A and B are shown apart, each in its own frame.
Chain A
Amino acid sequence: NAGVTQTPKFRVLKTGQSMTLLCAQDMNHEYMYWYRQDPGMGLRLIHYSVGEGTTAKGEVPDGYNVSRLKKQNFLLGLESAAPSQTSVYFCASSYSVLIDTQYFGPGTRLTVL
């Protein structure tokens, strides 16, 4: 099993550009999450999904959109990138509400110039 994978690993954008980050998991997990990690702030939840076709806002959702069209994939979109979105983005998944452990991907380092 590959676990949780993220594409791409690195990306540099110019302000105003758009992009999509892809997260894929092969563990048949129901729940998926997108976090951003910034120095001194830990990880903060952007959006999450409790099942295929569902999404919900987390702590810092502004400027991001998500979609979960397939159970194994969770996409994070930036419609108009801003320098404040420079961060490391992590995707995570967990089996269900009954099993809490979240498994994290390797991260995507995004720089917005």
Chain B
Amino acid sequence: QQQVKQSPQSLIVQKGGISIINCAYENTAFDYFPWYQQFPGKGPALLIAIRPDVSEKKEGRFTISFNKSAKQFSLHIMDSQPGDSATYFCAASKKEYGNKLVFGAGTILRVKS
């Protein structure tokens, strides 16, 4: 049973546009919600993360929006660039569970120039 559901599976955005990827989780005990970025042939790398005590976190062009009551969080990429083309994974974990990450299925983002 997938505890973190991610959508869409794939996304095509024009250069300069906004990319939005959504995730929903089931376990209300999760207390850490990271987004990972993965380029072909590479391992995932942490992009940005949020904890449930805040509703939004911004780092450069990347923003996480978090809705605790709806058990949803999303990644917004502003001014999307061709270099942002990658696979993005949302995830969730809880310290008491050994920080084990539960990943969404991933979103393949393509930014057209």
Instruction: Using CB atoms and an 8 Å cutoff, list the residues of chain A in contact with chain B.
Output: 4, 31, 33, 35, 40-45, 48, 50, 56, 58-59, 90, 92, 94, 97-98, 100-107
Contact = CB atoms under 8 A, between A and B. Distances in A.
Given A90-B43, A102-B46, A104-B45, A42 B98 contact: no
Interface string B36-53: 100001111110010000
A105 B41 CA distance: 11
A50 B41 CA distance: 27
A35 B41 CA distance: 15
Interface stretch (B12-20, B58-66, B74-82, B99-107): B99-107
Contacts of A101: 34, 46, 49
A40 B43 CA distance: 16
8 contacts: A40-B105, A43-B44, A45-B100, A92-B43, A94-B99, A100-B49, A104-B36, A106-B43
Contacts of B93: 100
Given A31-B99, A100-B95, 10 more contacts: A40-B106, A42-B106, A45-B102, A48-B98, A50-B98, A94-B99, A101-B34, A104-B43, A106-B41, A107-B43
B27 interface: no
